[in-house]
Structures are given as C-alpha cells and as structure tokens.
Amino acid sequence: MVARPARLTPPVECVRLYDAEAQLDGVIAIHSTAFGPGAGGCRFWSYPDADSALADALRLAEGMSYKNALADLPFGGAKAVLRKPAGDYDRAALFRAFGRVVEGLGGLYVTAEDVGTTVADMQEIAGVTRHVAGLPPAKGRAGGDPSPWTARGVFESMQAAAGFALGRDLAGLTVAVQGTGHVGAELCRHLADAGAKLVIADPDPVRRDRLRAILDAQVVGVDEIATVEADVFAPCALGGALARDTVAALKARLVCGAANNQLATPDVADLLHERGVAYVPDYVANAGGIISVSAEYLGEGPAEVAERVAAIAPRVAALLERAAREARSPALVADEMAEEVIADAQRRAAA
C-alpha cells in the first residue's frame, strides 16, 4: 500500500496502539485538527509489521485532511490502522480495547468504518466511547454503513468526469472495476443501472462471481484489470493501483475510483497527464463516506448527507476544468486547493 508522501506539517499526534491481552496492535495518526477533531475510519488489515502499518496510517491520515477540507467538513484528518492478528482472537475485545484508546484522546479523534471493519465493530467501540460513527441510524438521523454514500459520490463523479473528458454519459461505456467489496459492488450496481458495461476483478471469488451473475459482468484476473480494454478504470481496492508501469499500459482514458491513495508515487500524476488520461483524485471523488460519518456525528439527517454528496460531482467538474485550463494534472491542482484551505484555517487559528 504505497502512495504519495506527506507534504504538509507533521501529524498533530501519532498514538501507538498495543494491548497484548486483546491482541490490539496498530496506530492512530492524526494529521490535522485545523477545522476540528481528526476524523477518519479504522482500517483492519494484515500488515506484515508495525512500520508498514504506521506508513499507511500516515498517508491515509493526510488524505483525510485533504478530503475533509475540500468537502467543507468541520473536521481535520486522521486514520486508525489496526493489524489483524494472525491466529484466533476475540474481535469484540480487540475493538473495545481500541475504543478505550479513542476515548482517552478526549475527542481529538473520531473513528468509523474503513477497509476490514463493520457496523458491528463500531457498535463494540461505541460501548466505551462516544467518538465513533457508522452506527445503526436512529430515526431521522444519518448513520449506518457509509459505503453506499461513498459509492454514490464516486458514481456521480464518474458521470461528471465522463461528460468532461469523454464527451458523453456512461451508457455504453466499458468500466473496469478493481475490487468488488462494499463500495466497489455498490458502484457496479449504479454503473449497470446507468447502462455501462462492466469488467470486474476481485481476489474473493465468492463476491466477484455473485456480482457477475447479478450484473452480467465480465471477470478478469486481478493482475489484468488495470490494463483491459475499457473507457474508464475504477480502482476500488487498496492503494497504489496506479504505478508507472500500470499507467504506461493503461487503455482507459479516464480514471475515477473509490480507493484511497491510488497513486503509487507522486510522479504518476504527471504520467497520467502526459498520456492524456483524465484523473479524478481519489479524495475528491470518494468523500461520500466521511460526509455521512460527519453528519451522523453532528446529529444531522440523511437530507444533509444527500445535499453534500450531490456537491461532489460539480466539484469534480470544476477541478477538471481548472486543470485543463492550466494544463496541469488534476492531482496537483486538487492538492494545492486542499493545502490552501488547510493553511488558511491554520493561519486563522494561530491569529
């Protein structure tokens, strides 16, 4: 899971997580509190060592700062990364131990679902801290699994980007979707409803084949999906999908997906631009999930979530138009925009 290095100030705080009895091992990285508490999901994954978990947490936390800033949310950026134990473990005890650390931060960090975690995990955390979202929704309130909102935002971003970069809507276009988890599968459903042709890949054959049967999708290998004949490539798995060799072989003319940290190295953004591939920066397109989490934590309802998610696609269109006008990569333009917003908030806070 590699991605661009951090460019702003160092994290506000990095909290090492370790509880031998609960088999908790990981880190909370709080990158920015310029707008409020650091907000970002809790990732639960099989990292080979503590250093790789820390590196991923730092990159993901920075991405959350950028995402929350451009989505105009009253939160900074943060991320928790937990290492999945190799053997048997008590999942509930592990997440309660994590929740106790979140509670000890006194509201500096707000957690929610991410890769590998569920609503049930958030309920365990909620037993020991109130600084958690992604819980079953109360009547009239936002809540629940935020992944459908993420998928909706990515789908609408792709629609806007296809109109700008390809001059047409998604009907009849071939979209290659890498990863059919919660977000990827929901995105595929939206795409099928819009008349797109689907090519999918996922290491889990059960969920991949279920989706193929339902949506009449073509299945290819995980190592093929990025370079198949397609109009759009949608990375919806883990980070680093866009490496130099992948981009060199990319046939799609538009990249828009849900995965975080899609660029394996910063220079890949330039290579996409040089090849004439339109790229929608991940943290702009995939903000629907954190928008839902934010609304839930603030006590808002689904209407507020829908309104903010509906603003993602116009933001994408404006970004692509500015990047084209300035003859620069959308990734660089989006980074600058987010950094300007965060720096301005930091200046105001220091005044």
The DSSP bridge pattern shows strands 76-83 and 197-201 to be unpaired
For residues 310 and 141, what is the distance between their CA atoms, to the nearest angstrom?
Answer: 18
Q: What is the token pair recorded at 203?
A: 């290491």
Q: Is 3 a residue whose pLDDT tops 60?
A: no
Which of 176, 178, 150 lies closest to 238, judged by CA? 178
Contact status, residue 233 vs residue 178, Cβ threshold 8 Å: yes
Give the model confidence (pLDDT) of 52-110 as tens digits: 999 999 999 999 999 999 999 999 999 999 999 999 999 999 999 999 999 999 999 99
Residue 197 designated active-site: no
Backbone φ and ψ of 117, nearest 5°:
-120, 160
- Distant-in-sequence, close-in-space partners of 217: CB < 8 Å, separation ≥ 6: 188, 192, 198, 199, 200, 211
Which of 145, 149, 147 lies closest to 120, judged by CA? 145
Task: Share the mean pLDDT of the chain.
Answer: 94
More confident residue, 75 or 350: 75
Give the model confidence (pLDDT) of 169-227 as tens digits: 999 999 999 999 999 999 999 999 999 999 999 999 999 999 999 999 999 999 999 99
- Distant-in-sequence, close-in-space partners of 261: CB < 8 Å, separation ≥ 6: 1, 2, 3, 4, 59, 60, 63, 239, 240, 282
Contact status, residue 98 vs residue 126, Cβ threshold 8 Å: no
Longest C-alpha distance within the chain, in Å? 59
Mean pLDDT of 30-34: 92
For residues 223 and 24, what is the distance between their CA atoms, to the nearest angstrom?
Answer: 32
Sign of CA dihedral 316, 317, 319, 323: positive
Sheet-wide strand order for 254-255: 218-219, 197-201, 174-178, 232-235, 254-255, 278-279
Q: Is 115 a residue whose pLDDT tops 80?
A: yes
For residues 255 and 282, what is the distance between their CA atoms, to the nearest angstrom?
Answer: 9
pTM (two decimals):
0.92
What is each CA distance from 264 to 194, 261, 268, in whole angstroms? 30, 7, 7
Q: Is 5 a residue whose pLDDT tops 50?
A: no
Give the E-state strand segments of the chain in sequence order.
13-19, 24-32, 38-39, 42-45, 76-83, 109-110, 174-178, 197-201, 218-219, 232-235, 254-255, 278-279
Q: Is 297 a residue whose pLDDT tops 50?
A: yes
For residues 181 and 68, what is the distance between their CA atoms, to the nearest angstrom?
Answer: 23
Among residues 79, 84, 197, 251, which one is catalytic?
79
Q: According to the model, what pLDDT value does residue 348 have?
A: 83
Q: Is 114 a residue whose pLDDT tops 90?
A: yes
Give the model confidence (pLDDT) of 249-275 as tens digits: 999 999 999 999 999 999 999 999 999
- Distant-in-sequence, close-in-space partners of 214: CB < 8 Å, separation ≥ 6: none
Tell me the CB-side half-sphere exposure of residue 294, using CA atoms within 13 A: 31
Give the model confidence (pLDDT) of 162-178 as tens digits: 999 999 999 999 999 99
What is each CA distance from 58 to 5, 45, 54, 55, 255, in whole angstroms? 9, 15, 6, 5, 24
Q: According to the model, what pLDDT value does residue 12 have?
A: 75
Contact status, residue 121 vs residue 97, Cβ threshold 8 Å: no
Backbone φ and ψ of 266, nearest 5°:
-60, -35
Q: Is 8 a residue whose pLDDT tops 50?
A: no
Q: What percent of the chain has pLDDT over 90?
A: 92
Sign of CA dihedral 321, 326, 330, 333: negative
For residues 187 and 323, what is the distance between their CA atoms, to the nearest angstrom?
Answer: 26
